[in-house]
Amino acid sequence: MSDRQSAVAVDQTDERLRQTRGVRGALGSFLRSARAGDVGPLPVIIGLLIIGTIFQSLNPIFLSSRNLVDISMDSVAVGVISLGIVCVLLVGEIDLSVGSVSGFSGAIVAVLFIRHDWNWILATLVALGVACAIGLLYGVLLTQFGMPSFVSSLSGLLAFLGLQLAILGDQGSINLPFDSKLVSFAQLDFVPPWLSYVLAALAALALFAGGYDNMSRRRRANLSSSSPQALVVRSVALLVGLELVVWYLNQGRGVGWMVVFFVALVVLFHYAFTRTGWGRSVMAVGGNVEAARRSGINVRNIYFSVFALCSLMAAVGGILAASRLASANLSSGTGDVNLNAIAAAVIGGTSLFGGRGSAFSAILGVLVIESIASGLTLLNLNSSYRFVITGLVLAIAVAIDSLARKSRASHGRA
Amino acid sequence: MLSLRGISKTFGAVNALTDVDLDVEAGEVVAIVGDNGAGKSTLVKVLAGVHAADSGTIAFDSAEVQIHDPSAAIHLGIATVFQDLALCENLSVVDNLFLGRALGPWRLDQVGMEVKSWELLQQLAAKIPTVRVPVATLSGGQRQTVAIARSLLGEPRVIILDEPTAALGVAQTAEVLDLIERLRGRNLGVIMISHNMENVRAVADRIVVLRLGRNNGEFDARTVSSEALVASITGATDNVVTRRTGRLSAEADSSKDTLARRDEETK
């Protein structure tokens, strides 16, 4: 108990509680929780540093701003799909068909836009609607027929691949014109440098404002709150970090609007997971579905919403991928897209066991995967090495997840 | 206030409940006792909307109601503390307390929820050091307190406690019994399931006995003898409990002749 504080905060009255104060205290409790297995994004950040060091020493182009801009643009499509995967993983389910759904959606847009001369917005809306229906179908199969999502989405993987081939027809490939909005968004549109600095500053400001608001409301309610110094340190760190990244990317082509779109989506999902009743229900279903049901949560609707979101994100990712390639073809969304998206979510720290994870794992995970892909391409190694190395990284990520889980259990930390 | 008539429930070939009747008035504590497998927990689950009854009627405020799912029960004002507590271990104490009824669904009022949680836990004199840790870090008794606190949050009219004191220490058991009396004082109907006859007789107004899924007697808690209760629970006046009491009193009588008693026991 502190002598300086006249009234002890309501949540600090228990004498067994460890007191943390100031920046040092915040750092101390972070290290303690990391040691207990509450590692958060730490392993993947260390992994990114290792990957960067290795590839940079093998090929100095790797960390050049030009290459980093390419990595950032290439990450978006798979990253968006991976964001959907995070949703289903949080409730302890899986969707193996995201690759097929992404290819199918890209094909729908291309067919309607090019062959039928539709407006691209309308074509996109149709594709998104179809994807939503696919997700709801998985939800119905799970809740009404008790069909495990593993099986239903596995059959979906084949079925929607078939539909993709069918609607693309004999030609098999549809090119999107370079002057269309879709292609320029995915390839050519970059944020003006001044605006990118402003956006980065706004992000840091938002973190500070949110933290300050929370702090003052907790103060008013006589609850303990994090120290203002720690908040300032965090906000300044984010500001400096983001501005550095933006500055470095601006040495090359800059920050793509597509990248801004992806980051905005991730922030939106992060808000939904952590600050809304829906997010709490998702976490509850992932943690203990029976408890969630008994507390009156409509578990069926939660399943519907996460599967629909997952397929929706797969469709958005598929349309972005088609736009980035300026073409929808028979191989869109096949091959490693599926597994890369799932691997990205898991590598980023979302647990396969449900109930633990964060929207940011999509960004971190997809950066790992795309960095490896880019580094190996720069070394002129073919995709066989890429598969092996990505597989190894995934295995390590799952091992870390399982070990951290055990450690948390023995340290009494969920 | 709440009355059940002819409730039946089968699981496969097993008749878990057969024609069970139960009444609870406002400001009354009804204890349901019975041996293992008597159907107590099944009855709780029917009331909580976890299982639907196969037949029978449930009336709330003398209007017939259907309880198809847990949220229906919660909306009626029936709150339940389950034997397995039904907590989400990955979520914090605050999140568990407000599970399914978070304040501000589009922008969670985390401060408001935390303040309310502390108020509630302090009312229950709960020994929980911090409410922002996952429930996985809490001990069994602390989890029980969280579960009870959660049931009180929605201002229920009937509260069902399934084995509320089974995992608790001496002081916490007394706290829970005090709490049950306070609930009665607030004019709530309380249904309590317990194996602990002492607790049941200490706090209940009426004791309803279930045996093999059927009503097997109803007693006034102030006047009933424990022999009568045990007889009703086990279904016989000659049972293992009465034999044991009889033997113990016989032991007291014949304590002079220990040899003879040992002979008798070997038989």
Domain with A119 in it: 41-189+256-399
Together in a domain, A60 and A170: yes
User: Cβ(B106)–Cβ(B129) under 8 Å?
Assistant: no
Of A219, A240, A255, the residue that ends a domain is A255
Are A414 and B129 within 8 A, CB to CB? no
Residue A250 and residue A283 share a domain:
no
The pLDDT value recorded for residue A323 is 94
Contact assignment for B111 to A291 by CB distance below 8 Å: no
Which residue of B87, B88, B95, B127 is the best one to mutate when testing the A interface, meaning the one whose CB has the most A CBs within 10 A?
B88
User: Are A292 and A357 members of one domain?
Assistant: yes
The H helix count followed by the E strand count for chain A is: 16, 2
Q: In this model, does residue A1 exceed pLDDT 50?
A: no
Instruction: Please report residues of B whose CB lies closer than 8 A to that of A280.
Output: 91, 95, 98-99, 102, 108
In a domain, A128, yes or no: yes
Q: What percent of chain B has pLDDT over 90?
A: 9
Q: pLDDT tens-digit profile of A361-405?
A: 999 999 999 999 899 989 888 778 888 888 888 888 888 878 877
Q: Do B88 and A291 touch (CB under 8 A)?
A: yes
Closest by Cβ to B137, choosing from A14, A221, A412: A412
> What are the tens digits of pLDDT across the range B87-96?
998 899 999 9
Q: Is residue A25 one of the residues assigned to a domain?
A: no
| Greater model confidence, B262 or A192 | A192
Percentage of chain A surpassing pLDDT 90? 61
- Between A and B, how many CB-CB pairs are < 8 A? 116
Residues on chain A bordering chain B, Cβ-to-Cβ distance under 8 angstroms: 10-11, 14, 16-17, 214, 217-218, 221, 223, 275-278, 280-281, 283-284, 286-288, 290-298, 355-356, 408-409, 412-414
Residue intervals in chain B for CATH 3.40.50.300: 2-236
Is the CB of residue A89 less than 8 Å from the CB of residue A354? yes
pLDDT at B143 over 90: no
Provide the shortest C-alpha distance from residue B117 to chain A (in Å). Answer: 10
Contact A276/B150, CB-based, under 8 Å? no
Range A250-269 burial, b when 16+ CB lie within 10 A, else e: bebebbbebbbbbbebbeeb
C-alpha angle with apex A412: A411 to A413, nearest 5 degrees?
A: 95
Domain B2-236 part of CATH 3.40.50.300: yes
Q: How many Å apart are CA B141 and CA B144, to the nearest integer?
A: 5
DSSP string over A255-288: -BHHHHHHHHHHHHHHHHHHHSHHHHHHHHHHH-
A97 and A211 together in one domain? no
DSSP 3-state helix, strand, coil percentages of chain B (rounded to 5)? 40, 25, 35
Beta bridge partners of B160: B80, B191
Least Cα separation, residue B21 to chain A (angstroms): 24
DSSP string, B180-218: HHHHHHTT-EEEEE-S-HHHHHHH-SEEEEEETTEEEEE
Closest partner residue to B71 among A16, A287, A296, by Cβ?
A296
Q: Give the model's pLDDT for residue B224.
A: 82
What CATH number is attached to the domain comprising A303? 1.10.3470
What letter represents residue A138's amino acid?
Y
Q: What is the pLDDT of residue B154?
A: 78
Residue B124: which of B101, B97, B95 has the closest Cα?
A: B97
Domain end, chosen from A207, A227, A255, is at: A255
State pLDDT tens for residues B151-174: 888 788 899 998 888 777 787 788
Contact B108 A276 (CB under 8 A): yes
Tell me the residue type at B45: K
List CB contacts of A30: < 8 A, sequence separation 6 or more: none
Percent share of chain A, pLDDT over 70: 92
The pLDDT score that the predictor gives to residue B260 is 58
Shortest CA distance to A29 belongs to which of B205, B31, B130?
B130
**A205 domain residue, yes or no:** yes
Q: Is pLDDT at B242 greater than 70 in this prediction?
A: no
Q: Among A280, A302, A410, pick the best mutation site for testing chain B contact (most B Cβ within 10 A).
A: A280
Is A200:A239 a contact under the CB 8 Å cutoff?
Answer: yes
pLDDT score, position B96 = 92
In a domain, A194, yes or no: yes
Using an 8 Å Cβ cutoff, are B224 and B207 in contact?
A: yes
If one counts the domains in chain A, the total is 2
Q: A130 near A315, Cβ under 8 Å?
A: yes
Query: Is-contact B48 B73, C-beta < 8 A?
Result: yes
Instruction: Over range B249-254, report the average pLDDT.
Output: 73
What is the per-residue pLDDT for A5?
A: 42
Q: Last residue of a domain, which of A239, A255, A271?
A: A255
Q: How far apart are CA A161 and CA A60, in angstroms?
A: 39
pLDDT of residue B6 exceeding 60: yes
Give the per-residue pLDDT at A112. 94
Distance of alpha carbon B40 from alpha carbon A297, whole angstroms? 25
A8 located within any domain: no
The interface predicted TM-score (ipTM) is 0.83
